[in-house]
Amino acid sequence: MKFNEYQYVRPNVDETKNAIIALTEKINKAASFEEVDQAIQEFIQIDNEYGSMATLVSIRNSINTQDEFYEKEQEFFDTVGPELSEYFQNFNLAIYNSKFRTELVNKYGSKLFREIEIELKTFKPEIIEDLQLENKLTTKYDKLKASAQIEFDGKVLPLPGLSIYLQDKDRNVRKSAEDAVCSFYQEHEQEFDEIYDELVKIRTKIAKKLGFENFVELGYYRMGRTDYDSTMVAAYREQIRKHVVPLAEKIVKFQSERIGINDLKSYDLGLTYLNGNPMPLGTTEDKVNNAKKMYHELSKETGEFFDFMTEHELFDLDSKKGKAGGGYCTYIPKWRSPFIFSNFNNTAGDIDVLTHEAGHAFQVYSSRDAILPNYLWPTMESCEIHSMSMEFFTYPWMHLFFNDVDKRIYAHLTDSITFLPYGVTVDEFQHVVYSKPEMTPEERKTAWREIERKYTPYKVYENDLLERGGWWYRQGHIFSSPFYYIDYTLAQVCAHQFFVKDMENHEAAWADYHHLCKLGGSKTFLELLKEANLENPFEDGSLTKTMKTLEKWIDNFDKSKLN
């Protein structure tokens, strides 16, 4: 069966509700572990069916936002979802309080119980109204950003439309593009400050209602983290400052030499190569066929996986009218199918989809026999290890996708390094903000600029707003997903370890990676690292060896190929 033939039937909410209530009852009254287990198995069936229908609707709605049928069905799930979550939670609570916990832990592992504990810590009915306000504020931020109509180059452009000018060969164009972007944020400075101020205050209020001192700890629980805290993350950021910032400075220095500018400013950072960025080869069909060849050569299991994806047509890659923006990977349990959604636009980003999103898809394909639906995917920092590492494992096949393969690989690797200091800047800022929620908007901006100076000293601004500390308005995660950002950096340093191991011993590196993918979400971040023979980034000295190898790789790279 192909994706288009996967049949959608709207779930009957009352039936679903009653079935969950009955199963909850059954667990509460169970006289034996077998009865509890039977109820869990029945629950998984219901959860799979409901979840598959919800996912099918969300995919089809994003493929064509103008399809009225799926738009209506999406509204249906948006309404019943919150209604049902209470019943799902009660079911979990029954498991949590079951007197057969020992047997349950033996069969399902202890992670399930830690997950339920987090659920209980992060939610009480008393905060529903506050959560609604929080959602409203993040929507307000998205809308404000999407409202941008910037006059530039004789056109009226939304914010993403300016990105091509930020990479222009002409320095004046780059500078005026940066100023044009900033003028939008400066015009709305007060609104951005107010939205964020309200968000910080409402999140702090929620945290206090739930019994936390401030939002920081709650923010970690919301991300499902059970085995690391803000002190460990602070030590990790310090390692980035010590071992990555100097390397990032060196990369930027090479860049300024390459593009012939000796007083580098922030608006020069977008120009990687004087002769333009590497462009992908061929049509979408060519790209998919080359990806098929690549995954068959990479390993038996990736070959099987990619055949499964193509046979069942589990991709929607091309950008087209009415399609939602962005890209994602999701999973439909009923048909045991990952699904990849993207908007190809004939830039290097297309190939990132075929490596990064395919990495996510390969992981969930590998863990689809998970004993519980909760164990299909791990927490976010672990999820990104699968995707970011796949980007490195596929380096030897990049000639299938690019003429300028050296330029592609050099830019990819160095971007992955210079990303780290920026990533920890975003993270440290949020720790400062939520530990002192009473700070004024001006104090927040000053704090941002100070942190920026510490981690990205090569960002020299001429623009007034940026110099006062207003860069972060554009970083959506700061508004809508507090404390998420560090996850990308944690995954990146783990992916770097896989890259280094892959150069040393491909078989061993691949075996560890595949093992990690198969484990899915059955373990926590630190447990998964151990299983995959990865060094724990929170431990002092863990970054030293990898960064030294990467530095050598950069030093030895034949830079005459990078023009």
Residues at the site binding Zn ion, with contacts judged by CB under 5 A: 387
Residue with the shortest CB distance to Zn ion = 387
Q: Shortest gap between Cβ of 367 and Zn ion (angstroms)?
A: 16
**Nearer to Zn ion by C-beta: 378 or 469?**
378
Q: Shortest gap between Cβ of 379 and Zn ion (angstroms)?
A: 13
Look up residue 550 and give its amino acid: L
Q: Shortest gap between Cβ of 141 and Zn ion (angstroms)?
A: 22
Q: 3-class SS at 456?
A: coil
Q: Shortest gap between Cβ of 36 and Zn ion (angstroms)?
A: 36
**Nearer to Zn ion by C-beta: 387 or 430?**
387
The beta-carbon contacts of 105-112 under 8 Å, at least 24 apart in sequence, are 107/37, 107/371, 108/40, 108/371, 108/372, 109/375, 109/522, 109/523, 111/374, 111/375, 111/521, 111/522, 111/523, 111/524, 112/372, 112/374
B/e letters for 437-474, b = 16+ CB within 10 Å, e = fewer, are bebebeebbebbbebbeebbebbebebebbebbbbbbe
> What would the two tokens of residue 353 be?
């989809």
E-strand ranges in 168-324 read: 315-318
Which residues on adjacent β-strands are paired with residue 339? 330
Q: Shortest gap between Cβ of 62 and Zn ion (angstroms)?
A: 16
**Nearer to Zn ion by C-beta: 30 or 390?**
390
**Nearer to Zn ion by C-beta: 76 or 419?**
419
> What would the two tokens of residue 235 be?
């030590």
Q: Shortest gap between Cβ of 227 and Zn ion (angstroms)?
A: 21
**Nearer to Zn ion by C-beta: 387 or 425?**
387
| 201: DSSP letter | H
> What would the two tokens of residue 343 be?
């908007």
Count of CB atoms situated within 10 Å of the CB of 103: 15
What is the rounded CA–CA span in Å between residue 34 and residue 491? 39
**Nearer to Zn ion by C-beta: 267 or 488?**
488
What is the rounded CA–CA span in Å between residue 37 and residue 31? 11
**Nearer to Zn ion by C-beta: 196 or 362?**
362
Q: Shortest gap between Cβ of 247 and Zn ion (angstroms)?
A: 24
